[in-house]
Amino acid sequence: MRELYITDGYLKSFEATVEEVTGDKFVVLDKTAFYPNSGGQPHDVGVLVRDGEDFPVVYAGLFGGKISHELGKTGLVAGQEVTGTIDWDRRYLFMRSHTACHLLSAVIFRETGAMITGNQIGEERSRVDFSLEEFDRSRLAEYVDEVNGIIKEDRAVRTSLVSREEAMEIPDLVRLAKSVPDREEIRIVEVEGVDLQACGGTHVGRTGEIGKVKMLKAENKGKSNRRVYFAVSEGD
C-alpha cells in the first residue's frame, strides 16, 4: 500500500485497486491519497467511484499498518478499480492548520526551550500543548505574532525522506517530546530557516498559504502543561 500524500500533499484524485474488503465496508486500496486519522491530524473524507457509482469515504484510519477506508455504502469487492477523490476544502484547512502547528511549536521552542507534548488539529480550532513552568498570556500572543511574521515571509516548506540513522543525527529533530518513529525511512519536514521536524502529516508548500493565525485561548493544564488554541483564516 502506497501513501500518496507522503510525496504529494496536493493530490486530490487518484486511481487505485481494491485490495481487501472487511465487514463489507472497510476497504484497503493498493495506494491512497486519503490521510488516516493520526499524529493529531484528522482523517480525510471523500469518495471512491466505481463505474460511475459513488461510495462515500466517511473515515480513514490506520489498522495493522494499513490505511482502512470506511465507506458509507457496501458493494465494493477486491480487484475492482476505483477513482478516489478527497474532500479538498477539509484537507487544505488541515494542511494550513498543521503547518501553523509547526511554526507555533518552533517559535515556542526557540523562545522558551519548551517541548511540545501534543497537538490536535480540528475544523473549528486546533491546539498545541507544551511543557513550560512559566505561563504568560501576553508572551504567547507575541509568539503568535511571530508566527504571523513567518507566514508573511512566505517561506518554503519542503519534505524529504532520510534514513533513520541520518535522522537521528539532526539536533532537536523531534520537537514533539517523543522518540523518532520506528521506521526505516523518516520523513523530514523543513520550514526554510525556521523548523525541522520528523512528521508524517500533510503540509502546505509555502507558509503564506496558511493565511493568518489567531490565538483563541490559552490554558493551564496542570503544573507545567500549557495549551494554546488557535484558528487559521484567510490573510489580510
What residue ranges bind Zn ion (CB under 5 A)?
Answer: 199, 201
* Closest CB to Zn ion among residues 85, 105: 105
Shortest spacing between CB 102 and Zn ion, in angstroms: 6
Is the distance from CB of 128 to CB of 228 less than 8 angstroms? yes
Q: What DSSP letter does each residue of 11-44 carry, written as one string? A: --EEEEEEEEEETTTEEEESEE-PPPSBTTBPPP
Report, in Å, the least distance between residue 141 CB and Zn ion: 24
- Taking the C-alpha atoms of residue 82 and residue 174, their distance in angstroms, rounded to an integer, is 37
CB burial of 160-198 (b: ≥16 within 10 Å; e: otherwise) equals eebeeeebeebeebbbbeeeeeeeeebbbbbbeebbbbb
State which residue, 9 or 201, has the beta carbon closest to Zn ion. Answer: 201
Taking the C-alpha atoms of residue 28 and residue 175, their distance in angstroms, rounded to an integer, is 32
Comparing CB distances to Zn ion, the nearer of 48 and 189 is 189
Three cell numbers, residue 145: 505574532
Taking CB atoms, the residue at the shortest distance from Zn ion is 199
Closer to Zn ion by Cβ: residue 86 or 199: 199
Among residues 69 and 102, whose Cβ is nearest to Zn ion?
Answer: 102
